[in-house]
Structure 1
Amino acid sequence: MRKLWQVVFLISLISTITSGTNPGMKGLVTQRAIDYAIQVGKDIAQRELQSLDIPDVSGSASIDPIGNVYYELQGMRITSFSLSDPVVLFDEGVGMQIGIDVLDIETSGYWHVKYLFISDSGSFDLMAKNIVLSVVVQIGMDSTGRLSLACVSCDSSVGDLGITFHGGASWLYNLFSGTIDQRIREELDRKLCPTVNEKINDFESQLQRMKVTFQLDPAVVLEFPLINPPLIQNTSLELDIKGEWYSTAHHQEPPFTPCPFKLPVENNFMLYFGLSAFSVNSAAFAYFSAGVLKFYVTDEMVPKSSPIRLTTNSFGMFIPELPKRYPNMSMQILLLAREPPLTKVQADNITESVFGIAKMFVVLPNKTLAPAFALEINSSFKIDLSVSGQKLCGSIQLTSFNLSLSSSEIGPFQTTSMEKIFRLGLQIAVLPKVNEKLKSGFPIPEFKGIALVNPLLRVNQGFLMFATDVKYQSQSAGE
């Protein structure tokens, strides 16, 4: 019986640990993005290698009948560089395979040679051809939810290598250059893979320093670590991202959980990003928990064209008792959410439901506020989103609006007429200004030097999908 309880406890523990593994956001990189990055990276590498500092090489060789010859190759710089298109492919379940079939490098520099009591110097040309490199990089997730990289295998070889000495007694040293060639080839073979591994470790260190939280404002913070190891398939790498918002004052889980969703890879874009309704609603819950979804409305904030003013006399048409008790006095409204706004995302349809309360106050002659009544507000909106150029655009449409009396210090009254006027004011005075701003659009965030190409926004069941190609713009291009 005891073992049975242990099994039940273990199953409960496992289900608790794995219950929150659905992501709020997803990211996906396709092979097309990798292929493009390789082309851009190749061009950048060819430019930067021209100014690359190459470490000095020194050693000794036993040459008959001369004996031990000590040599130094210094001040090396690349004079010619040729690289075939690298092959970078996803390695399903592991990471990436990187292959360079042909890398040819020509360098020049200065040599110094010592043997017996004689020293000599001059210049040299070094040519290394058919350098082959094959690397497998494992892509995973560490305990903090960051990407992790590790070199799991590396093979390299130098096909042809030749060195020619100039100046000094170079005619003599060229006679045994083959011996030095062999030593340099062995040195290159010995250092190529450790250098690759060092670069991967450097990149891994940069990943460990990347932030997995983003504080939008003092009230809320977004947590976006990985929640599952990357899903690596033959043609893509997919990331499951937490994508959950929290109040900075109360790190409280919302009373709902993320539903699974899958990015529909269509039209073969380079990059895809998915934003679930859970992530949007967790932001609403975070703001609600932080207590910031409230603000005061005064008469100065009401459009001058509005026939309804925030005065007791104006509201007298709805509540005759109000101006009798408080004749010709100003009013204020405290608008606040009584529960978090709710976003529903369905195929080609986004709806937003807002649940609020309007607490109406009378401004007394001594500037204190006297509570008058409170109204419950239930409203819903239909939201349309699209991408136009490099901007996110949209429109909003009121679909329902209801007022009901929550409490009153001046006795009961009907809200039907007030509801009609408020609905009309919302449609005539407020929403047109909002839609004007939404129509002009908001710039889509971009990384420095990266332009989005033909971005697409699609509303799917339970999530929004953003897909795009990218174009690298070098700083020298002036774009």
Structure 2
Amino acid sequence: MGRDSRGRLAHFRQICEMVRKSAISRLEPCLRTLPVTLMIDQIASIDYSLVGAPQVTSQGLDTPFKGEFFGRNWNASVPFDAPPITLPQKHDHMIYFAVSEYAFNTASRVYHQAGQMKFTIQNKHIPLDFPIQLHTSSFWAIIPQLAMLYPNMELELETSPESAPFLTFTPGNVTFMPVMDIQAFVLLPKSAGRKSLFQIRASTNISITINVNSTRITGSLTTGSELKLELKHSNIGFFNVNLMESIFNYYALHTVYPSLNAKLEEGIPLPLPRDTYLNSLEFQIHKNFLFLGANVD
């Protein structure tokens, strides 16, 4: 090796040592302020721990975060994997985030297992001005057998997803297609409990609008299609479930969707260092992930 080569090698080693010291003195204190876990509410938290060492590239620093929701009172392993993602090659902003649909689907799993996606409807909760072409809003007008078998008794419906509904990310769109299980009970007099009447499956297609601000990702949902009902089991004989679709669609529109939108409006906090805020946001939806570019204050 010539003298010039040895000199260049020594100079290169000096540069590497300067980079290493700079990383220790400036980068590591910043990384220590990144959240490891964040409490979302009394039910869920999100794990933002590193899943690998930050990698220095010719274009910047790549930092892999876990991005997994877990229950605050339990933390079972997730039975599905994060999908592979291919990041766009963009360098117009200071920082870029890729948020996999895995993060949102682990959130759905946590809230489903905590019973937060279960809703109860009672016959008396159907408003008198319910816009259906019947003389009365009572289920007794839709299912004649009920009037004969259980006159003047209250009906109670329990609705919950058959499984945690998972979001699907495709270019420009976020959708999910929940399948709901609806069980009907009659409330027996004198606090004698309740009796199972029938079970219905309800399915629909829902679109989600994703928004991003300086610190978090939020969303809101709109219906892509009305609920479609299918009778799974009945203890009172056959009846036409199509007449019930208007009631369930009305209840979903005025009760279920507003409740879900309130939760989506709270959003998911981004893994940012302390006292860091984003501006000049650029947002895209790709297959399996959201892509966010921003400058940093």
Q: TM-score, normalised by structure 2?
A: 0.75
Structural mapping, 1:108-147, within 5 Å: 135-137=18-20
- Does structure 2 conserve the Cα–Cα contact (< 8 Å) formed by 1:220 and 1:290? no
Which position in structure 1 is the counterpart of 2:244?
A: 418
Deviation at 1:357, TM superposition (A): 1.1
Q: 2:203 aligns with which of 371, 378, 396?
A: 378
Q: Which amino acid aligns with 2:95?
A: L
Q: Deviations over 1:51-71 (max 9, x none)?
A: xxxxxxxxxxxxxxxxxxxxx
Please give the secondary structure, in 2, of the residue aligned with 1:341.
coil
Please give the secondary structure, in 2, of the residue aligned with 1:285.
helix
Separation of aligned partners in 1, 2:113 and 2:39: 16
Q: Deviations over 1:334-388 (max 9, x none)?
A: 2222211111000001111212212222223323322222212222202223458
Identity within the alignment, %:
24
| Count of matched residue pairs | 276
Q: Deviations over 1:256-281 (max 9, x none)?
A: 21122133243611121121112211
Please give the secondary structure, in 1, of the residue aligned with 2:18.
strand
Cα distance, 1:364–1:400 mapped onto 2, change above 3 Å? same
Structural mapping, 1:61-80, within 5 Å: none
- Does structure 2 conserve the Cα–Cα contact (< 8 Å) formed by 1:395 and 1:438? no
Deviation at 1:464, TM superposition (A): 0.9
Q: 1:217 aligns with which of 30, 41, 48?
A: 41
Which protein, 1 or 2, shows the higher relative CO under an 8 Å CA cutoff with sep ≥ 6?
Answer: 2
Q: Which amino acid aligns with 1:375?
A: I
Separation of aligned partners in 2, 1:201 and 1:385: 31
Cα distance, 1:232–1:321 mapped onto 2, change above 3 Å? same
Which position in structure 2 is the counterpart of 1:333?
A: 157
Q: Deviations over 1:220-268 (max 9, x none)?
A: 3322221122121122111111112233455333332112213324361
Q: Deviations over 1:371-429 (max 9, x none)?
A: 222212222202223458988564512325221222222222221222244335545x4
- Does structure 1 conserve the Cα–Cα contact (< 8 Å) formed by 2:280 and 2:295? yes
Unaligned runs of 5+ in 1: 1-96, 99-133, 140-148, 151-198, 472-479
Q: TM-score, normalised by structure 1?
A: 0.49
Q: Which amino acid aligns with 2:287?
A: Q
Cα distance, 1:460–1:365 mapped onto 2, change above 3 Å? same
Quick check: which one's strand share is greater?
1
Q: Deviations over 1:17-53 (max 9, x none)?
A: xxxxxxxxxxxxxxxxxxxxxxxxxxxxxxxxxxxxx
Deviation at 1:305, TM superposition (A): 3.4
Query: Alpha carbon RMSD of aligned pairs, Å?
Result: 3.9
- Does structure 2 conserve the Cα–Cα contact (< 8 Å) formed by 1:381 and 1:400? no
Separation of aligned partners in 2, 1:403 and 1:350: 24
Unaligned runs of 5+ in 2: 1-14
Which position in structure 1 is the counterpart of 2:296?
A: 470
Separation of aligned partners in 2, 1:443 and 1:253: 23
Q: 1:461 aligns with which of 281, 287, 290?
A: 287
1:281 aligns with 2:134: no
Structural mapping, 1:71-470, within 5 Å: 135-137=18-20, 150=24, 203=29, 207=32, 212-266=36-90, 268-299=92-123, 301-303=125-127, 305-307=129-131, 314-367=138-191, 368-387=193-212, 392=218, 394-423=220-249, 426-427=252-253, 429=254, 449-470=275-296
Q: Deviations over 1:181-202 (max 9, x none)?
A: xxxxxxxxxxxxxxxxxx6799
Please give the secondary structure, in 2, of the residue aligned with 1:268.
coil
Separation of aligned partners in 2, 1:326 and 1:313: 17
Q: Deviations over 1:291-322 (max 9, x none)?
A: 443232335654553257xxx98112321101
- Does structure 2 conserve the Cα–Cα contact (< 8 Å) formed by 1:380 and 1:399? yes
Q: Which amino acid aligns with 1:336?
A: S
Separation of aligned partners in 2, 1:321 and 1:137: 78
Cα distance, 1:410–1:340 mapped onto 2, change above 3 Å? same
Q: Which amino acid aligns with 2:200?
A: L
Cα distance, 1:300–1:202 mapped onto 2, change above 3 Å? same
Greater Cα offset, 405-414 or 416-425? 416-425
- Does structure 2 conserve the Cα–Cα contact (< 8 Å) formed by 1:374 and 1:407? yes
Separation of aligned partners in 2, 1:342 and 1:318: 33
